[in-house]
Structure 1
Amino acid sequence: MKAVRVHEYDEAPTLDDVPEPAVNGPHDVVVQVQGAGVCRTDLHIIEGQWRDKSGVRLPYVIGHENAGRVAEIGPAVTNVAVGDPVILHPLVTCGLCTACRAGDDVHCSASAFPGIDTDGGMAEYLLTSARSVVRLDPSLEPADVAALADAGLTAYHAVRKAAPRLRPGTTAVVIGAGGLGHIGVQALRALTATRIVVVDRSAEALELAAELGADETVLADGSQVARVLEATGGDGAHAVLDFVGEGGAIEDGIAMLRRAGGYFVIGYGGRLDVPTIDIISSEIDFIGNLVGTYNDLVELMALAASGRVRLHTVKYPLDRFAEALSDLGRGRVRGRAVLVP
């Protein structure tokens, strides 16, 4: 089969011929990939940012946002059948550790993460587990929702964590309305009654955010902090969801936060440097977000099937993966890029 593989860090991946995966264990599921999301994390992997954290051995297949149809199942698989359309939770989890038994499977102590620390889904087929597959509603096409497996899941997970503090009369600021942020806006609209203020450098992204439910949009032209503070009566937001995490977004986000507010870190690449006296004197919280649970993904698919979350995608054939990566890196993708094998 054809697969996009990283051979060396800081070098372009290549489209290679590799063996198709096969069922080896009783709970294995082989999926024919019909959509593989292209994520900024893929760019970070190629750059070597995940070199030490993932411990993966090169070469390997990237791609961690995957959906398709079941091609083969192990003898103990009962939740899906061959031919079923599915989206894949990004982790393959054990189901036996404390985190899995508590429903916090994103922190499974014995997980594999296809596309990060083992072969992923920018390929024609992908090996996963019965614990990772979510059967799709017939109204949903795998290629249309594939990127919800990580981008959507991460955004939804962050919003779920922020939701308890976002009661009516509160304000949430979304920094970055791109591939993750535009889903975060929809999740906030679906789960809360908060006022949503979106900050972005792109007027086009802000236009999309307004279409998807943002109450107010702010162009990041240097006046964004002052405008958010003005919009909140000088107090700041109850929650800031930062989908950028670099390039000044962190400093802006903290400055937009009110006392006892919560700063939800979703994007990454920068560094968080806050004097501890500022943290204790204002009792602000910093909350990290790593994808989401299997149940989060099930709930997100229910929202997608009901039309309350829509993923804006740009589709590319698998052999145009380099173009998709380049377009993402240059900021040319509106919403999410998806490879279609």
Structure 2
Amino acid sequence: MKAVRLRGYGEAPTIDDVPEPKISGAWDVIVDVGAAGVCRTDLHVIEGQWEQIQHPDLPYTLGHENAGWVREVGSAVTNVVPGDAVIMHPLTSCGLCAPCRIGEDSHCENATFPGLNVDGGMADQLLTNARAVVKLDDGLAPADVAALADAGLTAFHAVRKAVPELFPGTHAVVIGAGGLGHIGIQTLAAMTAATITVIDRSEEALELATTLGAHHTVLSTDDESVAAKVQDITGGGAHVVFDFVGEQGAELLAPRLLRNRGSHYVIGYGGAVHIPTIEVISREINVIGNLVGTYTDLVELMTLTAQGRVTLHTQTYPLDAAGDALNDLDHGRLVGRGILVPAAARSR
């Protein structure tokens, strides 16, 4: 089968012929990939940023945002059958460790992470497990939801955590209306009563944000101008800032947009947050990290999607154009989320 493989850090991935995966465990599930999302994390993986955390053996297949149709299942699998349309949680969790026992399966102590430390879904087929698959509503197609497996799930997870802070009369500021941010805007609109202000460098992205539920938009120019506009819109600063960029200066701007006792939710990454400790304590501000969401988060997100309250905006590429998709993402040419569709999926 065809697969997008990383052979060395700092090198462009290649399209290789590799063996199809095989069932080896009772809980295994093999999926015919319908679509695989193209994520900024893939760029960071290629750069080598995740090597110290995940230690993958190169070469391996990229792709951690995946949806498709069940092809084959292990002997113990009962929650899906061949032919079912499914989306995959990014982690294959064990269900037995302490985090899994309390529903924090995104911190599973025995997880694999397809696309980061084992073969992922930028391929014709993907090996996952029964605990990772969420059966899709009849009205949802894999290509319509694949990137929600990480981009959407991570955005939903952050908003879900912030819901108690975003009661009527509060202000939420979203930095970045791209692949993650445009889902964050929709989940904010669906789950909170906050007034939503969106900041982005792209006028096209801001136009999209307005259609998705943003009440105000700010074109990102210089930090001083942006901070002044946000302070004016929010009447003294945001109660919560969601930073979906996390680099290129956004991580430094975000704390300046908060009011006292506000919360800075870090979702994008690549930079470093620098806040003097005297400011943290005197203003009582919070900096909150956000990993990918849990399995339950993904189920809830799929419910919102099936209800039509969350829609993924995508640009589609064939699997063998993965290099073009990654390049477009890296150079800011994507609005919404890029997805790769294998040839077999295009003909279904």
TM exceeding 0.5: yes
Ranges in structure 2 where 5+ consecutive residues have no aligned partner: 343-348
- Pair 1:286-2:287 in alignment: yes
- What amino acid maps onto 1:45 in structure 2? V
Aligned to 1:311: 312
Superposed CA deviations along residues 182-207 of structure 1, whole A, max 9, x for unmatched, are 00000000100000000111111000
**Which residue number in structure 1 is paired with residue 89 of structure 2?**
89
**Residue deviations 1:116-162, cap 9 Å, x none?**
11110000000000000000001010011000000000000000011
The DSSP-based 3-state class of the residue aligned with 1:72 is strand
Task: Tell me which residue corresponds to 2:26.
Answer: 26
Indicate which of 214, 219, 229 corresponds to 1:227: 229
After superposition, the C-alpha distances for 1:33-55 in whole angstroms (9 at most, x for unaligned) are 01000001111111111121110
Partner Cα separation in structure 1 for residue 135 and residue 9 of structure 2: 35
Give the match for residue 141 of structure 2.
141
For 1:266, give the aligned amino acid: I
Name the residue aligned to 2:15.
15
Cross-structure match for 1:171: 171
- 2:346 is matched with which residue? none
Q: Secondary structure at the match of 2:196?
A: strand
State the number of aligned residues. Answer: 340
Deviation readout 1:233-287 (Å, 9 max, x if unpaired)? 2x21000000011111122110000111110000001111111111011111111
Shift of 1:171: 0.1
- Matched residues in 2 for 1:20 and 1:232: separation? 53
| Cα distance per residue 1:70-118 (max 9 Å; x no partner) | 0000011000000000000000000001110100100111111000111
Q: Which moved more, 1:215-224 or 1:145-154?
A: 215-224
- After TM superposition, the runs of 4+ consecutive aligned structure 1 residues lying more than 3 A away are none
Secondary structure of the corresponding residue to residue 100 of structure 2: helix
Q: Within 2, Cα distance between the matches of 1:319 and 1:251?
A: 37
The equivalent residue for 1:263 is 264
Amino acid across the alignment from 1:329? D
Residues 73-222 of structure 1 mapped to structure 2, 5 A cutoff: 73-222=73-222
Q: Which amino acid aligns with 2:314?
A: T
Paired residue secondary structure (1:63): coil
SS state of the match for residue 163, structure 1?
helix
> Amino acid of the residue matched to residue 36 of structure 2?
A
SS in 1 for 2:193: coil
2:274 equivalent in structure 1:
273
SS at match of 1:272: coil
- Displacement of 1:232 in angstroms is 1.8
Instruction: Give CA deviations for 1:313-338 in whole Å, capped at 9, x if unaligned.
Output: 01111111111111111111110000
Q: Which amino acid aligns with 1:226?
A: A
- What is the alpha-carbon distance in structure 1 between the residues aligned to residue 260 and residue 318 of structure 2? 48
Partner of 1:326: 327
Give distance in 1, aligned partners of 2:234 and 2:306: 34
Q: Secondary structure at the match of 1:254?
A: helix
* Amino acid in the other structure paired with 1:230: D
Distance 1:267 1:170 in 2: 23
The alignment partner of 2:204 has SS state of helix
User: Aligned with 1:339: secondary structure?
Assistant: strand
Q: 1:248 aligned to 2:249?
A: yes
Partner Cα separation in structure 2 for residue 216 and residue 153 of structure 1: 24
Gaps of 5+ in 1: none
1:208-255 CA-to-partner distances (Å, cap 9, x unmatched) read 00000000001111211100001122x210000000111111221100
How far the C-alpha of 1:339 sits from its partner, in A, is 0.3
Q: Which amino acid is 2:303 matched to? A: A
Q: Distance in 1 between matches of 2:264 and 2:201?
A: 20
Structure 2 Cα separation of the partners of residues 283 and 5 of structure 1: 45
Cα distance in 1, alignment partners of residues 67 and 157 from structure 2? 19
Cα distance in 1 for residues equivalent to 2:273 and 2:176: 17
Distance 1:334 1:48 in 2: 25
How far apart are residue 23 of structure 1 and its match? Answer: 0.8
- Structure 1 Cα separation of the partners of residues 48 and 76 of structure 2: 38
Distance 1:112 1:225 in 2: 41
Give the TM-score of the pair, scaled to structure 2. Answer: 0.97
